[in-house]
Structure 1
Amino acid sequence: MTDIAAQSVADRLGRHLTTWGGASVVLGGALGIAGRSPSIRAFGVQSAGWGAIDLLIAGAGALSKKPPTTSKLRKTLWVNAGLDVGYIAAGAHVAVRKPRFGGRITVEEAAGHGVAVVVQGAALLLLDTVHARALG
């Protein structure tokens, strides 16, 4: 695949990441403020935080002056996919085991944070694998 095609995939990934990140910030922020339970508010806060980071990453990619190469972008996306699996596993652990982190959060908040990490990790896994596969 030519590096022009890699730039096209990178641009598409940036748009998708911006959309996901923006939705996570807006909807997560709303749930974090107005959620009816501690677990829903925690889910919202965690989602908004991940969304903000997604927006920063998408912004940095858009501002990059160096075009991506196919091989480097493909490798980066597959490494990220592996990390995404780790996020899903860690989030599932927190959601199921509900650790209180030394009393800093409640059991209900742990469940909400854990589920949000699973959702965010799954969305990123989808984005990373779809775009890595588009590179061949």
Structure 2
Amino acid sequence: MDPWQRQIALARVTVGWSVLSTAVGLPLVARGDAWWRAFGRQQVGWAAVDAGVVVVAGALRRRRMRRVDNPYAPAALQHERRVLRRVLAVNAAADALYVAGGVWLWRANPERPERAGAGVGIAVQGAFLCVHDTFHALRA
């Protein structure tokens, strides 16, 4: 497994998810219902953050590739696989916490639709990222 190409593949999936989240979220932000507006804002907000993470991660990947004599040398590839696996595992743990926090926000606020909708939005985004990061961590 080429960790450099794996990172590019991760970025593509994340960008695709960001586009989908934006496409779903933007129309919901304009709705009159507070629950759906809050859910939509979470989708759009997370899409923006995810896109920013892709940009930063790409810049860091390119910088790491320039800093080694041969980024495809076996030792460099092995090091990058370990780093990628570790980053994805930490991200997956954080994603699980996002899901838990989102579910808590949703369940703790049934009378406050803006908080409940935001909680579900957080849980949806965290669940996707948790599956995404866990899958790729196991493959790295």
Do Structure 1 and Structure 2 share a fold, with TM-score over 0.5? yes
Partner of residue 78 from structure 1, selected from 76, 89, 99: 89
Amino acid at match of 1:43: F
- What residue in structure 1 maps to residue 24 of structure 2? 27
Deviations 1:65-94 (A, max 9, x none): 224800001000000000011000000000
Q: TM-score, normalised to structure 2's length?
A: 0.83
Structure 1 SS opposite 2:27: helix
2:39 maps to 1:43: yes
Q: Rg larger in 1 or in 2?
A: 2
Q: TM-score, normalised to structure 1's length?
A: 0.85
Shift of 1:26: 2.6
Moved more, 89-98 or 16-25: 16-25
Partner Cα separation in structure 1 for residue 80 and residue 89 of structure 2: 14
- What residue in structure 2 maps to residue 102 of structure 1? none
- What residue in structure 2 maps to residue 123 of structure 1? 128
Aligned-residue sequence identity (percent) comes to: 33
Shift of 1:36: 4.4
- Decide which structure has greater helix share: 2
Deviations 1:42-75 (A, max 9, x none): 1001110011000011112223322480000100
Gaps of 5+ in 1: 100-105
Deviations 1:3-47 (A, max 9, x none): xx11111111000001111221232122112x2411011100111
Aligned pairs for 1:93-108 (under 5 A) are: 93-98=104-109, 107-108=112-113
Gaps of 5+ in 2: 66-78
Partner Cα separation in structure 2 for residue 39 and residue 81 of structure 1: 27
Amino acid at match of 1:130: F
Q: Would you say the 8 A contact 1:9–1:134 is kept in 2?
A: no
Q: Between Structure 1 and Structure 2, how many residues are aligned? A: 125
Deviations 1:103-133 (A, max 9, x none): xxx7010110000000000000011011111
Partner of residue 113 from structure 1, selected from 118, 126, 132: 118
